[in-house]
Amino acid sequence: MIRFRNDKVAGMAAMLTGVVAFALMDAGLKVLTQHYSAAQVAALRGLAALPVVFAWALLAGGPRQLIQVRWPLHLVRGVLSVLMMITFTFALQELSLARAYSLFFIAPMLIAIFSLLFFGERVSRAQWAAIGVGFVGVLIVLKPETSGFGWAGSIAVLGTALCYALSNVLVKIIGRTDTTQAMVFWMTCMLAIGSTILALPGWQPIDEKHFLIMFGIAMTGAVGQWGITFAFKHAPAATVAPLEYSGLAWVLVIDWLGWATIPGWRMLAGAAVIIASGVYLVRHESRKA
C-alpha cells in the first residue's frame, strides 16, 4: 500500500511537471509555425529532442532496454505521434494556445473511454452522460454559428486529442514489459523520422535565430514526454489525467505575454464544461475501480 501511494504521488508530480514543460514547448512550436510548415515544425521538434532523449535513455537504462521491446506496438505509437504532432502544429497556426488547449482537453475523456472499451469494462449511463456534456463543451468552444474563425485548426486539434488518447492507452499496455526510457525514445525517434520524410518536399532552410527556440523545444519536449509517460505508467489514469487541465492556466499566461491574446468568456465557459465533465468521468471510473 505504501508503495502504491508513493507511485501515485510520483505519477501526479510527473504529470504536473510534464504539463508545464509541454506548455512552454507549445509556445515555442507556435513561434516556429509562423515560419515553417506544420510537418517541418513537427520534424524539428522530433529531431531537436532526439539527442537529449537518446542520451537520457542510455544513462538511465543502457542500450539493451531499447532493443528488447514490443516493436509492433511501438510502431503504432510512432505513427500516432507523427499524426499528433502534425495536426497540433497545424492547429497552432490557426488558433491561440488557449483555444487549442480548450479543445484538446477532450483527450482525458477519450482516454477514459478507450480504457473502458479496451480493458473490457462497462460504461454506465452516468459516464455516457458526462461524455455527452463534454461534447457540449466542445461545441461551446467551437462557436458553430460563427464562420471563418479556424474550423480547420479546430478539427486538427480534435484529431490531435484522438491520437494522444490512443497513444496513452498504448502506454498502459507497452509499459507492462518495456521501460519508460524505451517508450519515450522510440516515440521521439519515429516522430523525427516520419515527420522529416513528410516535410522533405517543402523543407525550408532554418533561420539561425530559431536555433535557441529549437533547443528550448528539445529540452521541454523531453521533460514533458518523460513526465506524461511516467505518470500514465505508474499511476491510475483516473488520478493523473485530470491534472492535464492545469495546462490551461499556463497557456493563458503565455498567450497574454507572448501574443497579447485574452480569451473570451465563451471559450472559458466551454473549457470549464469540458474540464468538469472530464474530471467527473475519470473520478467515476476511479470510484468504480
Indicate if the pLDDT at residue 168 is higher than 50.
yes
**Distance from first CA to last CA of the chain, Å, rounded?**
16
- 176-199: pLDDT as tens digits: 889 888 998 999 999 999 999 999
| Cell numbers found for residue 77 | 505509437
Distance CA 137, CA 155 (A): 15
Nearest to 29 by CA among 105, 106, 88: 88
Mean pLDDT check: name the lowest of 105-114, 147-156, 255-264. Answer: 147-156
Q: Which residues contact 185 (CB under 8 A, 6 or more apart)?
A: 53, 54, 57, 66
3-class SS string, the chain: CHHHHHHHHHHHHHHHHHHHHHHHHHHHHHHHHCCCCHHHHHHHHHHHHHHHHHHHHHHHHCCHHHHCCCHHHHHHHHHHHHHHHHHHHHHHHHCCHHHHHHHHCCHHHHHHHHHHHHCCCCCCHHHHHHHHHHHHHHHHHHCCCCCCCCHHHHHHHHHHHHHHHHHHHHHHHHCCCCCHHHHHHHHHHHHHHHHHHHHHHHCCCCCHHHHHHHHHHHHHHHHHHHHHHHHHHHCCHHHHHHHHHHHHHHHHHHHHHHHCCCCCHHHHHHHHHHHHHHHHHHHHHHHHC
Extents of the domains making up the chain:
2-288
Which is higher by pLDDT, 214 or 8? Answer: 214
Mean pLDDT check: name the lowest of 81-85, 93-97, 175-179, 283-287. Answer: 283-287
pLDDT band for position 4 (cuts 50, 70, 90)? very low
Mean pLDDT check: name the lowest of 88-97, 103-112, 221-230, 232-241. Answer: 232-241
pLDDT at position 181? 87
- 33-90: pLDDT as tens digits: 999 999 999 999 999 888 988 998 898 888 888 888 888 999 999 999 999 999 999 9
Average pLDDT along the chain: 84
Q: What is the mean pLDDT of residues 104-114?
A: 81
Which is higher by pLDDT, 153 or 121? Answer: 153
Q: What is the mean pLDDT of residues 2-28?
A: 82
pLDDT at position 289? 54
pLDDT at position 107? 82
Indicate if the pLDDT at residue 121 is higher than 70.
no
